[in-house]
Amino acid sequence: MNFFSAFLEMFRNSDQFIAHMSAEYGIYVYLFLFTVYFLETGIVICALLPGDSLIFVSGAASAAGILDPFGAFFAIALGACFGNTVAYAIGYYLGNKIYDGSIKWIDQQQMTKTQAFFAKHGKLTVVLARFVPIIRSFAPLVAGAAKMNRLNFEASGTVGAVLWAGIILSGGHLFGNIPFIKDNLSLILVGGIVLGLAPFVIGYIVKKWRQHPDPKN
């Protein structure tokens, strides 16, 4: 199974994919989970990777005995924490360049939303942003560019990652074996991604519409 086919399989049959990974590669399934959540947070262009929904599926897999719940928890939380650290360092290094549009792989619309999130929630932003798709990938960049105290950032990031991983994994563990949910885990995974993408897509459409208003008006 090459990388591309494995990636597609993760969406089509997420529960079977996790089971296959566990059976075929053993403890390396936890390295896979670590990598997904490291990339989702640490590399901003990977912000669209399945976050919340894949954790829920992993929780359901732990309830079925496919994954060790503590192994999954530590892999996901550590991946998120290390991703936070890398993204913070990138933001610290780039500074105000992340806002001026000169870096093409940074979505300025999402940066604006993240700045507004920071302005509203202050020091709690790094914790709360962990529960908001897309925003959680941009928050460490903004914190780094703003030269937020490193220890405060790491502490807040760790609290957010632990709460996020723990709550969603627990939800998957408790409810993932309900027949309807168990039979539609892949749909839940895709649904979570769609919900995460919806604000981004709507914002893009609105932005384009404002740039090109109806000439009849």
pLDDT of residue 4: 47
Residues of the chain under the 50 pLDDT cut: 2-4
DSSP state string for 9-65: HHHHSHHHHHHHHHHHHTTHHHHHHHHHHHHHHHSGGGTTS--HHHHHHHHHHHHTT
pLDDT of residue 193: 59
pLDDT of residue 72: 92
**Residue 36: CA atoms inside 13 Å, Cβ hemisphere, count?**
23
pLDDT of residue 21: 73
pLDDT of residue 15: 61
What does the domain layout of the chain look like in residue ranges? Answer: 3-211
